[in-house]
Amino acid sequence: MEKRATPTIYLAGDSTMANKGANDGATDGWGQYLSKYVTAPVVNKAVGGRSARSYTNEGRFTDIANLIKSGDIVVIEFGHNDGGSPTTATDNGRSDCPGTGEETCKSGKDGSTVYTFGHYVKAAAKTYIAKGATVVVGSQTPNNAWEGGVFSTAAPKFVAYAAQAGKEIGTGATFVDHFQAVLNAYKKLGNAKTNAFFPNDHTHTSPAGADLVAQAFAQAIEVKLNGTTPIVPYLRSGNPTVW
């Protein structure tokens, strides 16, 4: 497959990564700001409200597979919309089957087969790797860690699930604990400054907050928080240190 002179970085995720975030006019996703901190072109394919399951079923992972060339990099980061139970009659089409392996469930709404978070992430990653790309699995961004004025380090289960998926994919994939990187930044900022980044709720950040989340991601890559990722050679010099 043809290889670009400089790889393109594709982003797959939810509203915390997507352009305009939750589309409420006050928030934005961090994917919009990553290009400030890397020299490679960034194509943000994140879509608000999506989970690993719905992104799969809507063909969005496939859309990226049809675009990538050998040497490209795909960042996969989900978790905010993956919780809940798919087996109820009110299945929202986003909840993954509980578990960390190849467990399956039946949707209580339409009887379709539902897989685990790890299954969806690994299946997409392996498709990209087979086409000559590399994959970075990121853990979801934290909610407002200072909500209520007390700093919380509690991590949703999908943070561990993302780490496990990154490990199990094997050659061609790496994991970045974006959750921990952003948490470090929020701790350093403190209560008032962190709360100012959340104008509407405890999940979606203002544009300034989204920029910080992108900076924390770049710093995690720079310091090799979880090992060396393929993005390292494309970091800009002089990026901010936020934690």
End-to-end Cα, the chain, rounded Å:
39
Q: Which of 63, 70, 112, 201 is catalytic?
A: 201
Calpha distance 11→1 (Å, rounded): 21
Q: Which of 80, 119, 178, 204 is catalytic?
A: 204
Polymer length in residues for the chain = 243
Active site residue 201: yes
Q: Which of 14, 15, 72, 96 is catalytic?
A: 15
Active site residue 15: yes
DSSP code of 203? S
Element housing 196 (H / E): none
Element housing 125 (H / E): helix 117-130
Calpha distance 51→58 (Å, rounded): 10
Calpha distance 36→16 (Å, rounded): 17
Question: Active-site residue numbers?
Answer: 15, 201, 204
